[in-house]
Amino acid sequence: MSWIYAFVEKNETRYTKIGVAKSDYLDRFAKSQQCNPMPMEIAAVWKFPTEGAAQTCEREIKKREIFLRWGAGGAEWFQTSPEEVAVTDAFSRLLSEFGAVSQRPLRFSGAFAETLNLGEGDSRGAAYRPHLHLITESPSTGACKFALSCYNWPTVVAHYATYNPRALSIAGRWSFRGGSEGRQFIERLGQRLLSQQINPLGWYRADPNQLIELISSFGVKFYPRSSPIDDRVNYTKFRVPI
């Protein structure tokens, strides 16, 4: 069986993420919360008899433009509320067409975790230089995220963009000699910013310019975007060699 889920931010914006989960929508929910500073909730789920039925239904939601797309962030975000989703006749007919049944959402009881791959090495034995990325949102929520990875900045942004309703960009990058050095620095930085922490997934309530000044005061090497680096998005290539 497969599912279509509706996730929503617990605030007044009420952007709703509608997507397909092949088996476990709780995993998708965990990824959504990891990539979003706002508290999330599982608003509704519908069970489908087959994976194909769920995927076709999702395509039809977009094709028929049943809900207004929210164009600032990920492709699965819509400018609607769960209440509107529940009473939209066109959506109800589409669910019936594909044999979907509304289910009471399970409560997420696991632990949210960071899933971005550090990518320090590969099967050929090559070593790569990790970077600390400072991610900001637009429209701004006043929140910033730190992410440590050897992948270049578009790949890092792409990891979070699908699960966030706002456009993401990189405000700054700093390089380290190795993953251990980078992790130790993030731990020190987190202790310094503990009072501004939104959640333990690297999100902080802070002005990005002030964070840049703070990081620079530690003497960490700033890595400018003008440096020669392949900026195409790829999850298995385009890491910065040492």
Q: The pTM is what?
A: 0.83
pLDDT in tens, 105-134: 998 888 888 888 888 877 777 778 888 999
Nearest Cα neighbor of 42 from 25, 55, 54, 58 is: 25
**For residue 201, pLDDT beyond 60:** yes
pLDDT in tens, 177-187: 888 999 999 99
Question: By the 8 A CB rule, do 11 and 62 touch?
Answer: no
Three-state DSSP class for residue 178? coil
User: What is the model's pLDDT at position 224?
Assistant: 62
Take residue 105 and report the two structure tokens written for it: 């959402």
Which residues have CB under 8 Å from 176's CB, separation 6+? 129, 130, 131, 132, 182, 185, 220, 221
Which has more confidence, 235 or 127? 127
d(CA 31, CA 21): 12
Question: Which own/partner contact pairs does 124-129 have at CB distance under 8 Å and 24+ positions apart?
Answer: 126/241, 127/241, 127/242, 128/239, 128/240, 128/241, 128/242, 129/175, 129/176, 129/177, 129/239, 129/240, 129/241, 129/242
pLDDT in tens, 46-94: 999 999 999 999 999 999 999 988 877 777 899 888 888 888 999 999 9
Number of helical (H) and strand (E) elements in the chain, helices listed first: 7, 11
pLDDT in tens, 85-97: 888 999 999 999 9
d(CA 173, CA 146): 10
Q: Is the dihedral of CA 113, 115, 120, 125 positive or negative?
A: positive
- Reported confidence tier of residue 234, pLDDT bands at 50, 70, 90: very low
* 192-208: average pLDDT: 93
Take residue 157 and report the two structure tokens written for it: 């942004």
